[in-house]
Amino acid sequence: MGGASGMWAAAALALSLVVAAPARAEEPPAEPAPTEPAPRPCRALDKGEKISVDMRDAPLADVVRYVSCAAEVAFVLSPPALGGRTVTVFAPKPVDRRGLLTVFRVALRDAGLASERHGAFDVIKPVDQLTP
């Protein structure tokens, strides 16, 4: 009888382990770690195409990248530390390339910055460092 009862004890123990084991399939999925928002795709605006612009307190480097791609203008941040600043670029109605560059340059001025053409690039720097 010891053999049969031992076998029942082992089966009961195994069953209790299966029942007591956490049901992994029933656990809610783990929350994904917070990440930075995906950058906007780098795509030039088609001729006559208009886009909505609403970037509030956005990192300057992100705004420069977006405007550079959409308007096909090469920008350089001088000094590179300017990329740590934030700017607000907003237009109440969709704008074309020219309108995007205009609202962007106004936002730069409001932040004490400006873009200055140097060959193939527009250099963004503090207003007090513009070439006279």
Per-residue pLDDT tens digits for 54-113 = 999 999 999 999 999 999 999 999 888 787 899 999 999 999 999 999 999 999 999 999
Answer left, alpha or beta for residue 39, where phi above 0 means left and psi between -120 and 50 means alpha.
beta
Sheet holding 75-77, edge to edge: 75-77, 121-126, 113-118
Fold classification of 51-129 (topology level) = Ribosomal Protein S8; Chain: A, domain 1 (3.30.1370)
State the Cα–Cα distance between residues 51 and 48, nearest whole angstrom. Answer: 10
Q: Note whether 63 and 104 are within 8 A (CB).
A: yes
Q: What value does the mean pLDDT take over residues 27-48? A: 68
Residue 19, helix vs strand vs coil: helix
Q: What is the pLDDT of residue 12?
A: 45
Does the pLDDT of residue 38 top 60, yes or no?
Answer: no
Does the pLDDT of residue 43 top 80, yes or no?
Answer: yes
pLDDT in tens, 15-31: 444 444 445 455 556 66
Beta strands in the chain (DSSP E): 51-59, 75-77, 86-95, 113-118, 121-126
Give the residue from 110, 38, 36, 108 showing the smallest Cα distance to 73.
108
Does the pLDDT of residue 132 top 60, yes or no?
Answer: yes
Q: Give me the residue spans of the domains in the chain.
A: 51-129
Pull the structure tokens for residue 97.
Answer: 């390339």
Does the pLDDT of residue 13 top 70, yes or no?
Answer: no
Whole-angstrom CA distances from 79 to 57, 67, 85, 104 are: 20, 19, 12, 19
